[in-house]
Amino acid sequence: MRDETSRAPERFSSEINAFIAYLQLERGLSVNTWQAYQRDIDQCADFLARRAPTSDWTSVQAADLTAWLHHLSAGVLKSSSLARKLTAVRVFFRYLVREQRRADDPTSLLMGAKRQRRLPGTLSGPEVERLLRAPTGGDAFALRDRAILEVFYASGLRVSELARLELSQIDLEQGYVRVFGKGSKERIVPLGRRAAEAVQVYLSAGRPHFVRSKKTGGQLFLSERGGALSRVMLWVLVKRYAQKAGITQTVKPHLLRHSFATHLLGGGADLRSIQEMLGHSNISTTEIYTSVSPDRLRDHHARFHPRNKAKGAP
């Protein structure tokens, strides 16, 4: 359902409402994703209404959208934020054209800020080991938190995916987890022996401590009150244990996802397999990890280039 706290002017809102419904029902986008689209398009609509009080989406021209982008550029927004907002408006106008609500797409003439591709941060192998050992003791909280960290690193899940993880999605005997990612796309990700063992111990000796008959559903990881752990709580847990492990850089759940991919690539995994495990729809998104392991590139050059093969290499 569309967020009714939106401030889009009334003459712009009906098309936005229909677009948000399309994102929810046909595209199956997550709440966070469609709400981000909504905020950006509402912001654009508010600017356009002030620029031309009688306009609506059918009369918007490229010059109007260029003025909006210039207005945003005058603020403190990063180029990545400008690029995201322009993407949202582009998708929206393509939808309007496809639905025959207007004949042309004014965004086709726009040149936006180029999004800078930042290399993802990563943890070293020793840092990961210290982090995974940080939850000490045998109480229910330690067992839960150890399992959470092991699953994060073993599977490369997004924090939202791990927060939603249910018991039915885990197959400890086969050693995999069934994940529903962006757009409700399903993928199968191996857990690995250590993560599977940590989850098994948590299920046997930890999770029963958190179960509350009236509140507990089928979620795998439970809070002290018996409900699902929130994304914020998972962030807090990861940060707390990173500090305990003596890791100086800022550690967020996504850093474990980056480390998962980088370490797999460094160990010889192929990019397509990593793409599948991460749930990336486009291989270009996964290719960024090839930039963070120069040692692997040098090793491959030494092993496979005919003028640089190490002695004994095949």
- Residue 48 resides in a domain: yes
Collapse the DSSP code of 170 into the 3-class scheme (helix H, G, I; strand E, B; otherwise coil) and give the result.
strand
- Residue 240 resides in a domain: yes
pLDDT above 80: residue 314: no
- Active site includes 301? no
Both 95 and 242 in one domain: the answer is: no
Q: Tokens standing for 56?
A: 């609506």
Both 137 and 237 in one domain: the answer is: yes
> The domain that contains 80 carries what CATH number?
1.10.150.130
Both 75 and 222 in one domain: the answer is: no
Both 254 and 145 in one domain: the answer is: yes
Measured torsion, CA atoms of residues 74, 75, 79, 80, in degrees rounded to the nearest 10: -150
Domain finish residue from 63, 84, 109: 109
- Active site includes 254? yes
- Active site includes 118? no
Residue 4: per-residue pLDDT = 46
Q: What is the pLDDT of residues 252-290, one digit of tens each?
A: 888 898 899 888 887 878 888 888 898 888 777 777 776
Number of domains in the chain: 2
Both 143 and 242 in one domain: the answer is: yes
Both 142 and 234 in one domain: the answer is: yes
User: CA 298 to CA 123: how far, in whole Å?
Assistant: 20
Both 159 and 227 in one domain: the answer is: yes
Which of 144, 158, 207, 263 is an active site residue?
Answer: 158
Q: What is the pLDDT of residues 27-39, one digit of tens each?
A: 888 888 899 999 9
Both 288 and 203 in one domain: the answer is: yes
Which of 153, 202, 241, 289 is an active site residue?
Answer: 289
3-state helix, strand, coil in the chain (%, to 5): 60, 5, 35
- Active site includes 158? yes
User: CA 190 to CA 154: how far, in whole Å?
Assistant: 8
- Active site includes 85? no
Both 77 and 191 in one domain: the answer is: no
Structural domain including 258 reads: 125-300
Q: Contact at 8 Å (CB) between 29 and 23?
A: yes
Instruction: Tell me the whole-structure pTM to 2 decimals.
Output: 0.62
Half-sphere exposure of 230 toward its Cβ, with a 13 Å CA cutoff? Answer: 4
Both 84 and 163 in one domain: the answer is: no
